[in-house]
A and B are shown apart, each in its own frame.
Chain A
Amino acid sequence: MIDREQVLHVARLARLRLDEAEVEKMAGELSGILEHVDRIGELDLDGVEPTSHVVELENVLRPDRPRPSWPRDVVLEPAPDPADGAFRAPSPQADSQ
Protein backbone atom coordinates (compact mmCIF):
# COMPACT_ATOMS: atom_id res chain seq x y z
CA MET A 1 0.00 0.00 0.00
CA ILE A 2 3.05 2.24 0.08
CA ASP A 3 4.12 2.86 -3.45
CA ARG A 4 7.38 3.90 -5.04
CA GLU A 5 6.45 7.56 -5.14
CA GLN A 6 5.65 7.64 -1.44
CA VAL A 7 8.91 5.91 -0.63
CA LEU A 8 10.80 8.48 -2.66
CA HIS A 9 8.93 11.35 -1.03
CA VAL A 10 9.61 10.06 2.47
CA ALA A 11 13.25 9.38 1.61
CA ARG A 12 13.58 12.99 0.48
CA LEU A 13 12.05 14.23 3.73
CA ALA A 14 14.44 12.01 5.69
CA ARG A 15 17.45 12.94 3.54
CA LEU A 16 18.19 9.33 2.66
CA ARG A 17 19.37 8.41 -0.80
CA LEU A 18 17.98 5.03 -1.76
CA ASP A 19 19.04 3.09 -4.80
CA GLU A 20 16.50 1.40 -7.07
CA ALA A 21 16.68 -1.94 -5.30
CA GLU A 22 16.28 -0.30 -1.91
CA VAL A 23 13.21 1.63 -3.05
CA GLU A 24 11.45 -1.54 -4.16
CA LYS A 25 12.41 -3.44 -1.05
CA MET A 26 11.43 -0.57 1.24
CA ALA A 27 8.03 -0.25 -0.40
CA GLY A 28 7.33 -3.91 0.33
CA GLU A 29 8.70 -3.95 3.86
CA LEU A 30 7.02 -0.75 4.98
CA SER A 31 3.73 -1.95 3.54
CA GLY A 32 4.05 -5.20 5.48
CA ILE A 33 4.78 -3.45 8.75
CA LEU A 34 2.02 -0.89 8.29
CA GLU A 35 -0.45 -3.61 7.46
CA HIS A 36 0.24 -5.07 10.88
CA VAL A 37 0.16 -1.66 12.53
CA ASP A 38 -3.18 -0.90 10.87
CA ARG A 39 -4.85 -3.28 13.29
CA ILE A 40 -4.89 -0.48 15.84
CA GLY A 41 -7.22 1.26 13.41
CA GLU A 42 -9.91 -1.16 14.50
CA LEU A 43 -9.74 -0.21 18.17
CA ASP A 44 -12.30 2.16 19.63
CA LEU A 45 -10.15 4.99 20.90
CA ASP A 46 -12.74 7.75 21.05
CA GLY A 47 -12.16 10.04 23.98
CA VAL A 48 -8.84 8.39 24.88
CA GLU A 49 -6.14 10.93 25.65
CA PRO A 50 -2.84 10.41 23.85
CA THR A 51 0.19 9.52 25.98
CA SER A 52 3.41 11.08 24.78
CA HIS A 53 5.03 10.66 28.14
CA VAL A 54 4.73 8.38 31.12
CA VAL A 55 6.39 10.67 33.64
CA GLU A 56 4.07 12.99 35.51
CA LEU A 57 6.45 15.86 35.98
CA GLU A 58 5.83 19.51 35.15
CA ASN A 59 7.97 22.64 35.12
CA VAL A 60 11.36 20.99 35.34
CA LEU A 61 13.55 24.05 34.89
CA ARG A 62 17.18 25.04 35.17
CA PRO A 63 18.44 28.21 36.88
CA ASP A 64 19.84 30.80 34.45
CA ARG A 65 23.43 30.33 35.60
CA PRO A 66 26.22 30.25 33.02
CA ARG A 67 28.84 27.52 33.07
CA PRO A 68 31.93 27.48 30.90
CA SER A 69 31.47 26.56 27.27
CA TRP A 70 33.66 23.93 25.63
CA PRO A 71 36.99 25.08 24.15
CA ARG A 72 36.64 25.73 20.44
CA ASP A 73 39.38 23.34 19.40
CA VAL A 74 37.60 20.57 21.30
CA VAL A 75 34.26 21.15 19.59
CA LEU A 76 35.83 21.50 16.18
CA GLU A 77 38.01 18.43 16.58
CA PRO A 78 35.40 15.90 15.36
CA ALA A 79 34.15 18.19 12.57
CA PRO A 80 34.45 16.66 9.09
CA ASP A 81 35.30 20.02 7.53
CA PRO A 82 36.32 22.75 9.98
CA ALA A 83 37.30 26.14 8.54
CA ASP A 84 38.02 29.53 10.09
CA GLY A 85 36.87 28.47 13.54
CA ALA A 86 33.57 27.27 12.11
CA PHE A 87 31.88 24.17 10.75
CA ARG A 88 31.85 24.24 6.98
CA ALA A 89 28.99 22.74 5.01
CA PRO A 90 28.31 22.64 1.29
CA SER A 91 26.16 25.38 -0.14
CA PRO A 92 22.40 24.94 0.18
CA GLN A 93 21.99 25.97 -3.47
CA ALA A 94 18.32 26.56 -4.08
CA ASP A 95 17.46 24.36 -1.13
CA SER A 96 16.43 26.07 2.05
CA GLN A 97 15.25 25.12 5.49
Chain B
Amino acid sequence: MSGLLELTVAEAAGRIAAGEIAAGEYFDAWRAAAAGDELNAYLWRAEDGVEGTGGPLAGIPVAVKDIFCTEGVPTTAGSRILAGYAPPYTSTAVRRLGEAGARVLGKTNMDEFAMGSSSENSAFGPVLNPWDRGRVPGGSSGGSAAAVGGGLAPCAIGTDTGGSIRQPASLCGIVGLKPTYGAISRYGMIAFASSLDQCGALTRDVTDAALLLAALQGRDPCDSTSVGIEGGVEAPSREDLKGLRFAVPGELARDAIDSGVRAVFEATLETIERLGGAITEAPLPHAEHGISAYYVIAPAEASSNLARYDGVRYGMRAEGAGDLTEMYEKTRAEGFGAEVKRRIMLGTYVLSSGYYDAYYGRAQRVRTKIASDFAAAFAEFDFVVTPTSPSVAFGLGEKTDDPLAMYMSDFFTVPMSLAGLPAISIPAGLAEPDGGGPRLPVGFQIVAPAFAEQRLLEAAFALEREIGFDAKPGEGAGG
Protein backbone atom coordinates (compact mmCIF):
# COMPACT_ATOMS: atom_id res chain seq x y z
CA MET B 1 0.00 0.00 0.00
CA SER B 2 2.60 2.56 1.05
CA GLY B 3 4.24 2.34 -2.38
CA LEU B 4 1.12 3.79 -3.91
CA LEU B 5 1.42 6.88 -1.75
CA GLU B 6 4.90 7.58 -3.04
CA LEU B 7 3.67 8.11 -6.57
CA THR B 8 3.05 11.54 -7.94
CA VAL B 9 -0.39 12.15 -9.39
CA ALA B 10 1.00 11.98 -12.91
CA GLU B 11 2.65 8.65 -12.20
CA ALA B 12 -0.42 7.22 -10.51
CA ALA B 13 -2.69 8.41 -13.31
CA GLY B 14 -0.36 6.78 -15.82
CA ARG B 15 -0.40 3.45 -14.00
CA ILE B 16 -4.16 3.55 -13.55
CA ALA B 17 -4.59 4.28 -17.25
CA ALA B 18 -2.24 1.39 -18.08
CA GLY B 19 -4.29 -0.92 -15.86
CA GLU B 20 -1.39 -1.52 -13.48
CA ILE B 21 -3.27 -0.12 -10.52
CA ALA B 22 -7.02 -0.17 -9.91
CA ALA B 23 -8.49 3.31 -9.43
CA GLY B 24 -10.45 2.07 -6.42
CA GLU B 25 -7.35 0.62 -4.80
CA TYR B 26 -5.42 3.85 -5.23
CA PHE B 27 -8.28 5.94 -3.86
CA ASP B 28 -8.71 3.63 -0.85
CA ALA B 29 -5.01 3.83 -0.03
CA TRP B 30 -5.36 7.58 0.20
CA ARG B 31 -8.57 7.34 2.19
CA ALA B 32 -6.64 5.30 4.73
CA ALA B 33 -3.85 7.87 4.77
CA ALA B 34 -6.32 10.75 5.18
CA ALA B 35 -7.96 8.91 8.08
CA GLY B 36 -4.68 9.33 9.96
CA ASP B 37 -4.96 13.13 9.90
CA GLU B 38 -3.34 14.51 13.05
CA LEU B 39 -2.87 17.97 11.60
CA ASN B 40 -6.55 18.98 11.67
CA ALA B 41 -6.17 19.32 7.91
CA TYR B 42 -9.55 17.82 7.09
CA LEU B 43 -13.03 18.96 8.07
CA TRP B 44 -14.73 16.14 6.17
CA ARG B 45 -13.43 12.94 4.53
CA ALA B 46 -14.96 10.76 1.82
CA GLU B 47 -16.74 7.77 3.29
CA ASP B 48 -17.05 5.79 0.10
CA GLY B 49 -14.57 4.38 -2.34
CA VAL B 50 -14.70 4.98 -6.06
CA GLU B 51 -15.56 2.81 -8.96
CA GLY B 52 -16.13 3.17 -12.63
CA THR B 53 -14.31 6.42 -13.31
CA GLY B 54 -12.42 7.25 -16.46
CA GLY B 55 -10.52 10.21 -17.82
CA PRO B 56 -7.05 11.68 -17.37
CA LEU B 57 -7.47 11.83 -13.58
CA ALA B 58 -9.40 8.58 -13.15
CA GLY B 59 -9.42 7.59 -9.49
CA ILE B 60 -7.19 10.46 -8.38
CA PRO B 61 -8.17 11.66 -4.90
CA VAL B 62 -8.17 15.42 -4.48
CA ALA B 63 -8.26 17.24 -1.17
CA VAL B 64 -10.62 20.16 -1.70
CA LYS B 65 -10.47 23.34 0.33
CA ASP B 66 -13.73 23.69 2.23
CA ILE B 67 -14.51 26.85 0.27
CA PHE B 68 -15.70 24.90 -2.79
CA CYS B 69 -19.37 24.02 -2.74
CA THR B 70 -19.97 20.32 -3.18
CA GLU B 71 -23.54 19.15 -3.41
CA GLY B 72 -24.70 17.32 -0.30
CA VAL B 73 -21.26 17.52 1.33
CA PRO B 74 -20.73 19.87 4.30
CA THR B 75 -19.15 23.11 3.09
CA THR B 76 -18.35 25.68 5.75
CA ALA B 77 -15.48 27.87 4.55
CA GLY B 78 -14.14 27.30 8.05
CA SER B 79 -16.96 29.34 9.56
CA ARG B 80 -19.37 28.65 12.33
CA ILE B 81 -22.00 30.60 10.43
CA LEU B 82 -22.08 27.77 7.85
CA ALA B 83 -21.72 24.88 10.29
CA GLY B 84 -23.94 22.06 9.07
CA TYR B 85 -24.54 23.68 5.68
CA ALA B 86 -24.52 21.28 2.74
CA PRO B 87 -24.91 23.16 -0.56
CA PRO B 88 -27.56 22.17 -3.09
CA TYR B 89 -25.05 22.48 -5.94
CA THR B 90 -21.43 21.79 -6.89
CA SER B 91 -18.74 24.30 -7.84
CA THR B 92 -17.48 24.29 -11.40
CA ALA B 93 -13.91 23.50 -10.28
CA VAL B 94 -14.95 20.36 -8.43
CA ARG B 95 -17.30 19.37 -11.24
CA ARG B 96 -14.49 19.66 -13.79
CA LEU B 97 -12.16 17.55 -11.67
CA GLY B 98 -14.94 14.98 -11.46
CA GLU B 99 -15.40 15.05 -15.22
CA ALA B 100 -11.68 14.29 -15.57
CA GLY B 101 -12.21 11.25 -13.33
CA ALA B 102 -10.91 12.66 -10.04
CA ARG B 103 -12.84 12.28 -6.77
CA VAL B 104 -13.06 14.39 -3.64
CA LEU B 105 -10.96 12.79 -0.91
CA GLY B 106 -11.97 15.29 1.71
CA LYS B 107 -12.72 18.92 2.48
CA THR B 108 -9.80 20.76 4.00
CA ASN B 109 -9.62 23.16 6.88
CA MET B 110 -8.85 26.79 6.25
CA ASP B 111 -8.88 30.29 7.64
CA GLU B 112 -12.49 31.34 7.97
CA PHE B 113 -13.70 32.60 4.58
CA ALA B 114 -10.05 32.44 3.43
CA MET B 115 -9.14 35.39 5.63
CA GLY B 116 -5.79 34.69 7.13
CA SER B 117 -2.23 33.61 6.50
CA SER B 118 -1.90 30.92 9.13
CA SER B 119 -5.04 28.76 9.11
CA GLU B 120 -5.49 29.66 12.75
CA ASN B 121 -8.70 31.54 11.96
CA SER B 122 -10.80 28.43 11.43
CA ALA B 123 -13.86 27.98 13.57
CA PHE B 124 -12.85 24.33 13.70
CA GLY B 125 -9.40 24.72 15.20
CA PRO B 126 -6.00 25.54 13.71
CA VAL B 127 -4.20 23.40 11.14
CA LEU B 128 -0.73 22.21 12.16
CA ASN B 129 2.35 22.33 9.95
CA PRO B 130 3.48 18.80 9.00
CA TRP B 131 7.13 19.85 9.38
CA ASP B 132 6.66 21.16 12.89
CA ARG B 133 3.37 20.82 14.69
CA GLY B 134 4.10 23.81 16.82
CA ARG B 135 4.02 25.96 13.71
CA VAL B 136 1.39 27.14 11.29
CA PRO B 137 1.06 25.70 7.78
CA GLY B 138 0.34 29.14 6.35
CA GLY B 139 -3.02 30.14 5.01
CA SER B 140 -5.61 30.43 4.09
CA SER B 141 -5.41 27.11 2.18
CA GLY B 142 -3.49 25.63 5.12
CA GLY B 143 -5.50 22.41 5.29
CA SER B 144 -4.86 21.68 1.62
CA ALA B 145 -1.15 22.49 1.96
CA ALA B 146 -0.74 20.46 5.15
CA ALA B 147 -2.60 17.50 3.61
CA VAL B 148 -0.28 17.37 0.59
CA GLY B 149 2.87 18.25 2.57
CA GLY B 150 1.96 15.82 5.33
CA GLY B 151 1.19 12.86 3.09
CA LEU B 152 -2.56 12.95 3.68
CA ALA B 153 -3.46 13.64 0.04
CA PRO B 154 -1.64 13.33 -3.29
CA CYS B 155 -2.86 16.73 -4.43
CA ALA B 156 -5.26 19.44 -3.44
CA ILE B 157 -7.05 22.52 -4.68
CA GLY B 158 -7.28 25.79 -2.85
CA THR B 159 -7.99 29.43 -3.46
CA ASP B 160 -5.59 32.32 -3.62
CA THR B 161 -6.77 35.88 -3.02
CA GLY B 162 -3.53 37.48 -1.86
CA GLY B 163 -1.26 34.47 -1.52
CA SER B 164 -3.50 31.85 0.05
CA ILE B 165 -2.16 29.02 -2.14
CA ARG B 166 1.44 30.14 -2.64
CA GLN B 167 2.28 31.06 0.96
CA PRO B 168 1.03 27.82 2.60
CA ALA B 169 2.63 25.81 -0.22
CA SER B 170 5.88 27.57 0.61
CA LEU B 171 5.52 26.91 4.34
CA CYS B 172 4.67 23.23 3.78
CA GLY B 173 7.35 22.46 1.19
CA ILE B 174 5.10 21.81 -1.79
CA VAL B 175 4.16 23.42 -5.11
CA GLY B 176 1.40 26.01 -5.13
CA LEU B 177 0.04 27.42 -8.37
CA LYS B 178 -2.20 30.47 -8.62
CA PRO B 179 -3.32 30.81 -12.24
CA THR B 180 -4.25 34.03 -13.99
CA TYR B 181 -7.45 35.61 -12.72
CA GLY B 182 -10.11 34.21 -15.05
CA ALA B 183 -8.31 30.95 -15.90
CA ILE B 184 -10.58 28.84 -13.69
CA SER B 185 -14.24 29.45 -12.97
CA ARG B 186 -15.06 30.90 -9.57
CA TYR B 187 -18.61 29.55 -9.68
CA GLY B 188 -19.30 27.68 -6.47
CA MET B 189 -16.17 28.97 -4.79
CA ILE B 190 -17.33 30.82 -1.70
CA ALA B 191 -16.39 34.43 -2.34
CA PHE B 192 -13.94 36.37 -0.22
CA ALA B 193 -12.77 39.14 -2.57
CA SER B 194 -14.35 38.57 -5.94
CA SER B 195 -11.93 40.57 -8.07
CA LEU B 196 -8.95 38.68 -6.61
CA ASP B 197 -10.09 35.16 -5.72
CA GLN B 198 -8.71 32.45 -7.96
CA CYS B 199 -8.72 28.67 -7.70
CA GLY B 200 -5.43 26.84 -8.00
CA ALA B 201 -3.51 23.67 -7.25
CA LEU B 202 -1.36 22.48 -4.37
CA THR B 203 0.75 19.52 -5.45
CA ARG B 204 3.97 17.67 -4.85
CA ASP B 205 5.54 18.79 -8.09
CA VAL B 206 5.09 21.11 -11.04
CA THR B 207 3.89 18.36 -13.39
CA ASP B 208 1.02 17.53 -11.07
CA ALA B 209 0.09 21.21 -10.87
CA ALA B 210 -0.06 21.30 -14.68
CA LEU B 211 -2.21 18.18 -14.69
CA LEU B 212 -4.76 19.68 -12.30
CA LEU B 213 -4.72 23.04 -14.08
CA ALA B 214 -5.43 21.30 -17.39
CA ALA B 215 -8.57 19.79 -15.90
CA LEU B 216 -9.68 22.89 -13.99
CA GLN B 217 -9.19 25.69 -16.50
CA GLY B 218 -11.76 26.84 -19.00
CA ARG B 219 -14.45 29.37 -19.70
CA ASP B 220 -17.62 28.81 -17.67
CA PRO B 221 -20.95 30.41 -18.60
CA CYS B 222 -21.74 30.60 -14.88
CA ASP B 223 -18.80 32.95 -14.29
CA SER B 224 -18.80 36.13 -16.39
CA THR B 225 -15.19 36.79 -15.49
CA SER B 226 -13.87 33.41 -16.56
CA VAL B 227 -11.81 33.16 -19.71
CA GLY B 228 -9.90 29.88 -19.65
CA ILE B 229 -6.41 29.37 -21.02
CA GLU B 230 -6.19 29.48 -24.78
CA GLY B 231 -4.60 26.33 -26.13
CA GLY B 232 -5.03 24.50 -22.82
CA VAL B 233 -2.23 23.26 -20.59
CA GLU B 234 0.22 20.42 -21.19
CA ALA B 235 2.69 18.58 -18.99
CA PRO B 236 5.92 20.67 -18.91
CA SER B 237 9.15 19.21 -20.23
CA ARG B 238 11.69 22.00 -20.46
CA GLU B 239 15.11 21.19 -19.01
CA ASP B 240 16.95 24.50 -19.17
CA LEU B 241 16.29 28.22 -18.86
CA LYS B 242 18.47 29.34 -21.74
CA GLY B 243 17.56 32.72 -23.15
CA LEU B 244 15.03 33.44 -20.43
CA ARG B 245 15.21 36.72 -18.57
CA PHE B 246 14.28 36.85 -14.88
CA ALA B 247 13.61 40.11 -13.08
CA VAL B 248 14.20 40.52 -9.35
CA PRO B 249 12.24 43.50 -8.04
CA GLY B 250 14.64 45.45 -5.85
CA GLU B 251 11.79 47.14 -3.97
CA LEU B 252 10.51 43.81 -2.71
CA ALA B 253 13.86 42.19 -2.02
CA ARG B 254 14.99 45.10 0.16
CA ASP B 255 12.30 44.61 2.77
CA ALA B 256 12.38 42.49 5.85
CA ILE B 257 13.24 38.96 4.80
CA ASP B 258 14.55 36.31 7.18
CA SER B 259 18.20 35.65 6.55
CA GLY B 260 17.61 31.94 5.91
CA VAL B 261 14.97 32.73 3.33
CA ARG B 262 17.27 35.24 1.67
CA ALA B 263 20.05 32.66 1.44
CA VAL B 264 17.78 30.09 -0.23
CA PHE B 265 16.45 32.77 -2.58
CA GLU B 266 19.95 33.82 -3.64
CA ALA B 267 21.04 30.23 -4.10
CA THR B 268 18.04 29.69 -6.34
CA LEU B 269 18.98 32.71 -8.45
CA GLU B 270 22.34 31.06 -8.98
CA THR B 271 20.60 27.87 -10.01
CA ILE B 272 18.65 29.83 -12.59
CA GLU B 273 21.87 31.25 -13.99
CA ARG B 274 23.37 27.79 -14.05
CA LEU B 275 20.44 26.70 -16.21
CA GLY B 276 21.14 29.53 -18.63
CA GLY B 277 18.67 32.12 -17.34
CA ALA B 278 19.64 35.77 -16.91
CA ILE B 279 18.95 37.57 -13.63
CA THR B 280 18.48 41.33 -13.58
CA GLU B 281 17.28 43.65 -10.88
CA ALA B 282 14.29 45.55 -12.20
CA PRO B 283 11.95 48.05 -10.65
CA LEU B 284 8.40 47.37 -9.52
CA PRO B 285 8.06 50.73 -7.80
CA HIS B 286 4.50 50.35 -6.56
CA ALA B 287 4.59 46.71 -5.49
CA GLU B 288 5.50 47.69 -1.95
CA HIS B 289 2.12 49.42 -1.69
CA GLY B 290 0.40 46.19 -2.57
CA ILE B 291 -0.44 45.34 1.03
CA SER B 292 -2.08 48.74 1.55
CA ALA B 293 -4.18 48.50 -1.58
CA TYR B 294 -5.01 44.88 -0.89
CA TYR B 295 -6.17 45.50 2.66
CA VAL B 296 -8.62 48.07 1.34
CA ILE B 297 -9.91 46.26 -1.74
CA ALA B 298 -10.19 42.75 -0.31
CA PRO B 299 -12.03 43.73 2.90
CA ALA B 300 -14.32 46.07 0.94
CA GLU B 301 -15.41 43.28 -1.38
CA ALA B 302 -15.54 40.85 1.54
CA SER B 303 -17.81 43.11 3.59
CA SER B 304 -20.31 42.91 0.75
CA ASN B 305 -19.76 39.23 -0.08
CA LEU B 306 -20.28 38.17 3.52
CA ALA B 307 -23.42 40.24 4.03
CA ARG B 308 -25.55 37.36 2.71
CA TYR B 309 -24.89 35.38 5.88
CA ASP B 310 -27.88 36.83 7.62
CA GLY B 311 -29.67 33.87 9.18
CA VAL B 312 -32.63 33.95 6.78
CA ARG B 313 -32.15 31.34 4.05
CA TYR B 314 -29.46 28.94 5.29
CA GLY B 315 -26.72 28.67 7.87
CA MET B 316 -27.00 29.50 11.51
CA ARG B 317 -29.39 31.93 13.14
CA ALA B 318 -28.85 33.21 16.67
CA GLU B 319 -31.41 32.18 19.23
CA GLY B 320 -33.58 34.57 21.14
CA ALA B 321 -33.42 37.60 18.90
CA GLY B 322 -36.45 39.89 18.96
CA ASP B 323 -36.66 42.00 15.85
CA LEU B 324 -34.92 41.70 12.51
CA THR B 325 -31.95 43.95 13.27
CA GLU B 326 -31.25 42.13 16.49
CA MET B 327 -31.42 38.78 14.68
CA TYR B 328 -28.96 40.00 12.05
CA GLU B 329 -26.55 41.48 14.55
CA LYS B 330 -26.56 38.54 16.93
CA THR B 331 -26.34 35.92 14.19
CA ARG B 332 -23.37 37.60 12.60
CA ALA B 333 -21.70 38.33 15.93
CA GLU B 334 -21.98 34.68 16.96
CA GLY B 335 -21.33 33.23 13.53
CA PHE B 336 -18.17 35.10 12.49
CA GLY B 337 -14.74 34.89 14.09
CA ALA B 338 -12.55 37.82 15.11
CA GLU B 339 -10.55 38.15 11.87
CA VAL B 340 -13.65 38.02 9.71
CA LYS B 341 -15.31 40.67 11.85
CA ARG B 342 -12.19 42.80 11.63
CA ARG B 343 -12.18 42.66 7.85
CA ILE B 344 -15.92 43.23 7.55
CA MET B 345 -15.51 46.30 9.73
CA LEU B 346 -12.52 47.52 7.74
CA GLY B 347 -14.28 46.93 4.43
CA THR B 348 -17.49 48.57 5.55
CA TYR B 349 -15.53 51.55 6.80
CA VAL B 350 -13.54 52.12 3.60
CA LEU B 351 -16.69 51.97 1.49
CA SER B 352 -18.77 54.13 3.77
CA SER B 353 -19.90 57.59 2.89
CA GLY B 354 -17.06 60.07 2.98
CA TYR B 355 -14.23 57.52 2.90
CA TYR B 356 -14.73 55.81 -0.46
CA ASP B 357 -12.46 58.11 -2.46
CA ALA B 358 -9.70 58.27 0.12
CA TYR B 359 -9.51 54.52 0.51
CA TYR B 360 -11.30 52.40 -2.08
CA GLY B 361 -10.82 54.87 -4.94
CA ARG B 362 -7.13 55.34 -4.17
CA ALA B 363 -6.53 51.63 -3.66
CA GLN B 364 -7.98 50.93 -7.10
CA ARG B 365 -5.59 53.47 -8.59
CA VAL B 366 -2.65 51.89 -6.80
CA ARG B 367 -3.83 48.63 -8.31
CA THR B 368 -3.58 50.21 -11.74
CA LYS B 369 -0.04 51.36 -10.99
CA ILE B 370 1.00 47.92 -9.78
CA ALA B 371 -0.44 46.29 -12.89
CA SER B 372 1.39 48.76 -15.14
CA ASP B 373 4.65 48.15 -13.25
CA PHE B 374 4.32 44.48 -14.09
CA ALA B 375 3.39 45.26 -17.69
CA ALA B 376 6.56 47.34 -17.98
CA ALA B 377 8.63 44.55 -16.46
CA PHE B 378 7.17 41.95 -18.81
CA ALA B 379 8.02 44.14 -21.79
CA GLU B 380 11.65 43.36 -20.97
CA PHE B 381 11.61 40.16 -18.99
CA ASP B 382 9.99 36.74 -19.18
CA PHE B 383 9.46 36.31 -15.46
CA VAL B 384 9.55 38.14 -12.18
CA VAL B 385 10.89 36.16 -9.22
CA THR B 386 10.68 36.73 -5.46
CA PRO B 387 10.73 34.69 -2.28
CA THR B 388 7.18 33.45 -1.71
CA SER B 389 7.10 34.39 1.95
CA PRO B 390 9.41 36.61 3.97
CA SER B 391 9.81 33.87 6.56
CA VAL B 392 9.54 30.13 7.05
CA ALA B 393 6.58 28.77 8.99
CA PHE B 394 6.03 30.78 12.18
CA GLY B 395 4.81 29.51 15.51
CA LEU B 396 1.17 28.92 16.35
CA GLY B 397 -0.18 32.01 18.06
CA GLU B 398 2.92 34.03 17.18
CA LYS B 399 1.10 36.64 15.08
CA THR B 400 -2.51 36.25 16.13
CA ASP B 401 -2.43 39.38 18.26
CA ASP B 402 -0.85 41.54 15.60
CA PRO B 403 -3.06 41.65 12.50
CA LEU B 404 -0.69 43.92 10.61
CA ALA B 405 2.30 41.61 11.17
CA MET B 406 0.16 38.74 9.92
CA TYR B 407 -0.86 40.75 6.87
CA MET B 408 2.80 41.41 6.07
CA SER B 409 3.40 37.73 5.43
CA ASP B 410 1.51 38.29 2.14
CA PHE B 411 3.99 40.98 1.14
CA PHE B 412 5.45 39.03 -1.80
CA THR B 413 2.26 37.45 -3.03
CA VAL B 414 -0.29 40.27 -2.94
CA PRO B 415 0.99 42.39 -5.87
CA MET B 416 0.51 39.52 -8.35
CA SER B 417 -3.03 39.00 -7.10
CA LEU B 418 -3.81 42.67 -7.57
CA ALA B 419 -2.49 42.45 -11.13
CA GLY B 420 -4.28 39.13 -11.72
CA LEU B 421 -1.06 37.41 -12.81
CA PRO B 422 -0.20 33.71 -12.70
CA ALA B 423 2.40 32.77 -10.10
CA ILE B 424 3.83 29.57 -8.76
CA SER B 425 5.69 28.77 -5.57
CA ILE B 426 8.08 25.84 -5.69
CA PRO B 427 10.09 24.47 -2.77
CA ALA B 428 13.63 25.77 -3.13
CA GLY B 429 15.33 24.55 0.00
CA LEU B 430 15.28 24.57 3.77
CA ALA B 431 16.21 27.31 6.18
CA GLU B 432 16.40 27.85 9.89
CA PRO B 433 13.85 30.26 11.30
CA ASP B 434 15.37 33.58 12.39
CA GLY B 435 14.87 32.62 16.00
CA GLY B 436 16.65 29.30 15.43
CA GLY B 437 15.27 25.77 15.34
CA PRO B 438 14.98 22.91 12.86
CA ARG B 439 15.16 23.82 9.21
CA LEU B 440 11.91 24.43 7.39
CA PRO B 441 10.87 24.73 3.74
CA VAL B 442 11.37 27.90 1.76
CA GLY B 443 9.38 28.67 -1.36
CA PHE B 444 10.54 30.45 -4.50
CA GLN B 445 7.94 32.42 -6.46
CA ILE B 446 7.92 32.79 -10.24
CA VAL B 447 5.47 35.19 -11.86
CA ALA B 448 4.50 35.30 -15.54
CA PRO B 449 2.35 37.53 -17.76
CA ALA B 450 -1.38 36.89 -17.80
CA PHE B 451 -2.35 33.54 -19.31
CA ALA B 452 1.30 32.53 -19.84
CA GLU B 453 0.74 29.51 -17.57
CA GLN B 454 2.44 27.09 -19.95
CA ARG B 455 5.65 29.13 -20.03
CA LEU B 456 5.47 29.54 -16.25
CA LEU B 457 5.12 25.79 -15.75
CA GLU B 458 7.96 25.03 -18.17
CA ALA B 459 10.36 27.33 -16.31
CA ALA B 460 9.24 26.05 -12.91
CA PHE B 461 9.66 22.49 -14.12
CA ALA B 462 13.22 23.08 -15.30
CA LEU B 463 14.12 24.85 -12.06
CA GLU B 464 12.44 22.23 -9.87
CA ARG B 465 14.43 19.53 -11.62
CA GLU B 466 17.70 21.31 -11.05
CA ILE B 467 16.93 22.16 -7.40
CA GLY B 468 15.98 18.54 -6.71
CA PHE B 469 14.14 19.33 -3.46
CA ASP B 470 13.39 15.96 -1.88
CA ALA B 471 13.20 16.73 1.84
CA LYS B 472 10.23 15.32 3.72
CA PRO B 473 8.63 16.37 6.98
CA GLY B 474 10.36 14.71 9.88
CA GLU B 475 13.60 14.59 7.89
CA GLY B 476 13.78 18.35 7.68
CA ALA B 477 16.85 18.72 9.85
CA GLY B 478 18.85 16.49 7.60
CA GLY B 479 17.38 17.59 4.24
Interface residues of A (CB under 8 A from B): 2, 6-7, 9-11, 13-18, 22, 26, 29-30, 32-34, 36-41, 43, 45, 48-55, 57, 60, 62, 70, 74-75, 77-81, 87, 89-93, 95
Q: Is the CB of B322 within 8 A of A49?
A: no
Any chain A CB within 8 A of the CB of B323?
yes
The contact of B346 among A15, A18, A33, by CB within 8 Å, is A33
Roughly how many angstroms separate A55 CA and B228 CA in the complex, as a whole number?
11
**Chain B residues within an 8 Å CB radius of A13:** 348, 352
Is B79 an interface position by the 8 A CB rule?
no
> Considering the complex, which residues of chain B in the window 334-372 have a beta carbon less than 8 Å from any beta carbon of chain A?
336, 341-342, 344-346, 348-349, 352, 358-359, 361-369, 371
Can you report 8 residue pairs joining A to B where beta carbons are below 8 Å apart? Answer: A30-B342, A33-B407, A37-B363, A55-B225, A55-B227, A79-B313, A92-B324, A93-B323
Is B342 a contact partner of A95 (Cβ separation < 8 A)?
no
A residues near B361, Cβ cutoff 8 Å = 50
Are B289 and A33 in contact, with the CB atoms below 8 A?
no
Contact of B344 among A14, A22, A38, A70 (CB under 8 A): A14
Asked whether B409 is an interface residue with its Cβ less than 8 Å from the other chain, the reply is no
Q: Give 8 nearest A-B pairs by CB, closest first.
A: A54-B420, A50-B364, A78-B314, A80-B317, A17-B329, A15-B328, A17-B333, A60-B224
| Known interface pairs A32-B403, A40-B363; A14-B291 also in contact (CB < 8 Å) | no
Question: B454 within 8 Å of A by Cβ?
Answer: no
The complex places the Cα of A14 from the Cα of B331 at a distance, in Å, of 12
Contact B333 A37 (CB under 8 A): no
Q: Is the interface of B mostly helix, strand, loop or mixed?
A: helix
Which of these, A39, A78, A90, contacts B292 with CB under 8 Å?
A39
Count contacts on B: residues with CB < 8 A to the other chain: 66
Contact with A along B297-341 (1 / 0, CB 8 A): 000000100010011111111000111111111101100100001
Which residues from chain B contact A17 at a C-beta distance below 8 Å?
329-330, 332-333
Beyond A15-B332, A17-B333, is A92–B366 a contact (Cβ under 8 Å)?
no
Given known pairs A54-B419, A60-B224, A79-B314, the reply for A10 and B345 (CB within 8 Å) is yes
0 or 1 for each of B443-454: is its CB under 8 Å from A? (1 = yes):
000000010000
Chain B 218-237 against A: per-residue CB contact (8 Å), 1 yes, 0 no? 00010011010000000000
B404 on interface, CB distance cutoff 8 Å: yes
| B182, CB-defined interface residue at 8 Å | yes
A90–B349 contact, CB under 8 A? no
Once A70-B88, A78-B313 are accepted as A-B contacts, the answer to whether A37 and B181 lie under 8 Å apart by CB is no
